[in-house]
Amino acid sequence: MSRSSFSTVEKLTIINLIRNVHYSINEVASMYNLNWSTIRSWIHKFETLGEAGLEEAKSNTSYSNQPTIRSYFQLIDLACDQSPYFS
């Protein structure tokens, strides 16, 4: 079963095999033709973020290098906080 993405349900099934059925990560990695580090990453995401951590990203997020208005306000706030004139 080699492929690039697994559904959230499939990831939960794989995690369940390790946590509740007591297969080793290496055994499950061999069964699903996965690298053990991928499964370890899923377990970590599940433990820290819950089921939502296993969901696929909807799209790649890209950020502009241009400063935003919010960043200007944050810079002004920082300058005012550190200035003796605005104490």
User: Is residue 30 included in any domain, yes or no?
Assistant: yes
User: Is residue 23 included in any domain, yes or no?
Assistant: yes
CB atoms near residue 10 (< 10 Å): 15
Residue-range definition of the domain harbouring residue 43: 1-57
Report the number of distinct structural domains present in the chain.
1
User: Is residue 42 included in any domain, yes or no?
Assistant: yes
pLDDT (0 to 100) of residue 2: 42
User: Is residue 52 included in any domain, yes or no?
Assistant: yes
Q: What is the pLDDT of residues 38-52, one digit of tens each?
A: 999 999 999 999 999
User: Is residue 11 included in any domain, yes or no?
Assistant: yes
User: Is residue 31 included in any domain, yes or no?
Assistant: yes
pLDDT confidence tier of residue 65, bands split at 50, 70 and 90: confident
For helices 8-19 and 25-32, the axis angle rounded to 10 degrees is: 140
User: Is residue 72 included in any domain, yes or no?
Assistant: no
pLDDT (0 to 100) of residue 8: 94
pLDDT confidence tier of residue 19, bands split at 50, 70 and 90: very high
User: Is residue 78 included in any domain, yes or no?
Assistant: no
